[in-house]
C-alpha cells in the first residue's frame, strides 16, 4: 500500500514541478482529431463517483458534486486533478453548498490540438461547466440540446441552479477565475481567489532560488516529495510533521503529462488581467499566506487593491500549500464570506 502511495506521490510531485525539472516529455504524436493519450487508464474506484460533461469541441471534463445547496464551483490549480482537493475543505463547505469540482481539459487524457489548454480557454471551459451544470432558466434540464452548437449541452434538472454562481479558484485556478470574471462578469456572485496572481508585468515573481530549486533533477520519489514540502509548506509545518508521507493525503487520478505541459505553457505566456480588475463587480475575497514562495503574497495585495471593495486576508505562517495545511480553517473563511458575514 505504501509503495502505491509513494508512486502516486512521485508522479504527482513530478508533475507539479515538471516545467523546471524536465520530468515531462511531450513528444507523443498527436492526430489532427481528438485523441486519447497512451498513458490514460481506467479510473480507480475512488473516481467512479464522478461524471463527465462534454465540451462543444468534444473534450470530456470530469466533474463531481458534493453536498446540497447553492452551487460553488472550484477551479483547480496547476497540475492537479479533482481528487487532490483537500477533502476536509470540500466536505465542510458541502454542508451548506453544492460544491462542484471539475478537471481542466486534457487532464483525463483526451486532447484537441486545435483547442489546447490556455488560461482564456480555461475560462471558456469554466463557462461551459457552469452553463451545463448551472445554466438556469428553460435551457437547464433539457434532455436535448439540439444540433445548434451555440446551445449548451444540458443535464438533468437535478444539476441545475440559478445564475450567478460562486467561484473559488486556487493558484492557476485563480487566474482562470479572474479571466472568467473579466469575460463573464454577470455570471459571478461571489469570487474567491486563493494564492494567485493577476499575471502580466504587474505580478511579483517567485525569488530566483525558488525557481532554481524547482529546476533541480532529483533521484527518488521521496526527494521530489520533500522538495514539494520545501516549496509549498512552511518550515514550521514540516518540523511538526516530520513524516513527509503525511503532508498530502488526498490523491487519485494523476493528471495527463501532456495536459500539464499545456498548462505550464499557458500561464507563463498569460498576459494577465490587471487593467480589467477595476471592472470586476462581484463580491471578491482574496486569500494568501504570508510565507507563499510560489506566488508571493504581494500579488494578493495587488489584486485586492485593484478590485473595488475586495476583501484581503493574509494568513500568518502559511505558504502556497495552505489549503492542504489548514483545510478546515480555509473552508470556514470561505463559508463566512459566502454567507455575507463580515471578515476580519
Cis peptide before 164 (omega within 30 of 0): yes
Domains of the chain, CATH where assigned: 2-24+45-338 (3.40.50.1820)
Q: Which three cell numbers stand for residue 23?
A: 520530468
| Exposure letters 150-173 (e unless 16+ CB within 10 A, then b) | eebbbbeeebbbebbbbbbbbbbb
Among the ranges given (35-49, 138-152, 167-181, 284-298), the one the predictor scored with the smallest mean pLDDT: 138-152
pLDDT band, residue 44 (cuts 50/70/90) = very low
Cα dist from 341 to 73, 194, 333, whole Å: 20, 18, 10
Give the tens place of pLDDT for each residue, 52-101. Answer: 999 999 999 999 999 999 999 999 998 889 999 999 999 999 999 999 99
Dihedral through CA 30, CA 31, CA 36, CA 39, nearest 10? -40
pLDDT attached to residue 250: 63
pLDDT-derived band of residue 111, with 50, 70 and 90 as boundaries?
Answer: confident
Give residue-wise pLDDT tens across range 128-149: 999 998 854 333 433 333 334 3
Write down the pLDDT at residue 49.
67
User: What is the C-alpha radius of gyration for the chain, rounded to an integer number of angstroms?
Assistant: 19
Share of the chain above pLDDT 90, in %: 51
The mean predicted confidence, pLDDT, of the chain is 80
Confidence of residue 210 (pLDDT cuts 50, 70, 90): confident
Which residue has better confidence, 101 or 9? 101
The predicted structure's pLDDT at residue 176: 98
Q: Does residue 119 have a pLDDT over 70?
A: yes
Please give the average per-residue pLDDT across 203-216, as a whole number. Answer: 82
Beta strands 311-315; 71-75: pairing state: unpaired
**How far is residue 248's CA from residue 272's CA, in Å, rounded to a whole number?**
30
For residue 300, is pLDDT > 90?
Answer: yes
pLDDT (0 to 100) of residue 344? 52
pLDDT range class, residue 271, cuts 50, 70, 90: very high
The answer to whether residue 11 scores a pLDDT higher than 90 is no
Amino acid at each position: 500500500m505504501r509503495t502505491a502511495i509513494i508512486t502516486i506521490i512521485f508522479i504527482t510531485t513530478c508533475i507539479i514541478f515538471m516545467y523546471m525539472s524536465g520530468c515531462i516529455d511531450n513528444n507523443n504524436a498527436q492526430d489532427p482529431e481528438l485523441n486519447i493519450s497512451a498513458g490514460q487508464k481506467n479510473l480507480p474506484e475512488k473516481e467512479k463517483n464522478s461524471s463527465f460533461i462534454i465540451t462543444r469541441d468534444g473534450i470530456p471534463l470530469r466533474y463531481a458534486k458534493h453536498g446540497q445547496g447553492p452551487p460553488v464551483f472550484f477551479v483547480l490549480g496547476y497540475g492537479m486533478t479533482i481528487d487532490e482537493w483537500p477533502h476536509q475543505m470540500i466536505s465542510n463547505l458541502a454542508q451548506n453548498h453544492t460544491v462542484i469540482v471539475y478537471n481542466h481539459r486534457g487532464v483525463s487524457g483526451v486532447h484537441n490540438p486545435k483547442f489546447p489548454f490556455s488560461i482564456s480557454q480555461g475560462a471558456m471551459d469554466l463557462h461551459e461547466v457552469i452553463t451545463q451544470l448551472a445554466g438556469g432558466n428553460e435551457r437547464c434540464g433539457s434532455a436535448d440540446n439540439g444540433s445548434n452548437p451555440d446551445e449548451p449541452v444540458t443535464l438533468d434538472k437535478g444539476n441545475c441552479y440559478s445564475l450567478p454562481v460562486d467561484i473559488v479558484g486556487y493558484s492557476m485556478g485563480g487566474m482562470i477565475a479572474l479571466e472568467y470574471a473579466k469575460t463573464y462578469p454577470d455570471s459571478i456572485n461571489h469570487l474567491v481567489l486563493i494564492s494567485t496572481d493577476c499575471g502580466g508585468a504587474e505580478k511579483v515573481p517567485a525569488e530566483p532560488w525558488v525557481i532554481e530549486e524547482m529546476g533541480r533533477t532529483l533521484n527518488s520519489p521521496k526527494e521530489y516529495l520533500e522538495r514539494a514540502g520545501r516549496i509549498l509548506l512552511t518550515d514550521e509545518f514540516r518540523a511538526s510533521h516530520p513524516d513527509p508521507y503525511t503532508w498530502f493525503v488526498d490523491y487519485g487520478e494523476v493528471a495527463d503529462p501532456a495536459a500539464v505541459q499545456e498548462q505550464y505553457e499557458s500561464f507563463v505566456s498569460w498576459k494577465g488581467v490587471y487593467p480589467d480588475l477595476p471592472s470586476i463587480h462581484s463580491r471578491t475575497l482574496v486569500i494568501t499566506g504570508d510565507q507563499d514562495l510560489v506566488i508571493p503574497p504581494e500579488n494578493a495585495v495587488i489584486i485586492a487593491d485593484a478590485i473595488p471593495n475586495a476583501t484581503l486576508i493574509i494568513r500568518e505562517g502559511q505558504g502556497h500549500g495552505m489549503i492542504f495545511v489548514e483545510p478546515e480553517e480555509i473552508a470556514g473563511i470561505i463559508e463566512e464570506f459566502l454567507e455575507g458575514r463580515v471578515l476580519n
